[in-house]
Amino acid sequence: MRHATDMPEQAGGVALAGVTFIRNDRRIIDDLTLRLDERRIGLVGRNGSGKSTLARLIAGLIPADSGDVRVGGVDVARDRKAAIRIVGILFQNPDHQIIFPTVAEEIAFGLGQLGEGKAGSRAGALEMLSRFGCTDWADRPVHVLSQGQRHLVCLMAVLAMQPGLIVLDEPLSGLDIPTTRALTAYLDRLDQQIIHITHDPATLAGYGRVLWLDQGKIALDGAPDQVLPAYVAAMQGGQDDLADLAG
pLDDT confidence tier of residue 173, bands split at 50, 70 and 90: confident
Whether residue 86 contacts residue 93, with contact meaning beta carbons closer than 8 Å, is answered with no
Mean pLDDT of the chain: 88
As a whole number of angstroms, the distance between CA 245 and CA 142 comes to 46
What are 92-131's pLDDT values in tens digits? 888 888 999 999 999 999 999 888 899 999 999 999 999 8
pLDDT at 246: 45
Residue 123 domain-assigned (yes or no)? no
pLDDT of 217 above 90: yes
What are 72-99's pLDDT values in tens digits? 999 999 998 899 889 999 988 888 889 9
pLDDT of 68 above 90: yes
Residue 167 domain-assigned (yes or no)? yes
- pTM of the entire predicted model: 0.85
Residue 118 domain-assigned (yes or no)? no
Give the burial class of 24: count Cβ atoms within 10 A of its Cβ; 0-12 exposed, 13-18 middle, 19 or more buried.
Answer: exposed
Provide the residue range defining the domain that includes 73.
4-93+163-246
| Count of domains for the chain | 1
Residue 108 domain-assigned (yes or no)? no
As a whole number of angstroms, the distance between CA 11 and CA 232 comes to 34
Cα-Cα-Cα-Cα torsion 214, 207, 188, 17, nearest 10 degrees, comes to: 50
pLDDT at 88: 93
- Residue 147: count of CB within 10 angstroms of its CB: 14
Backbone angles phi, psi at 13, to 5 degrees: 70, -165
What are 33-64's pLDDT values in tens digits? 999 999 999 999 999 999 999 999 999 999 99
Residue 210 domain-assigned (yes or no)? yes
Residue 208 domain-assigned (yes or no)? yes
CATH of the domain at 169: 3.40.50.300
pLDDT confidence tier of residue 238, bands split at 50, 70 and 90: low
Residue 177 domain-assigned (yes or no)? yes
Residue 114 domain-assigned (yes or no)? no
What are 120-171's pLDDT values in tens digits? 999 999 999 998 889 999 999 999 998 888 988 998 999 999 999 999 998 7
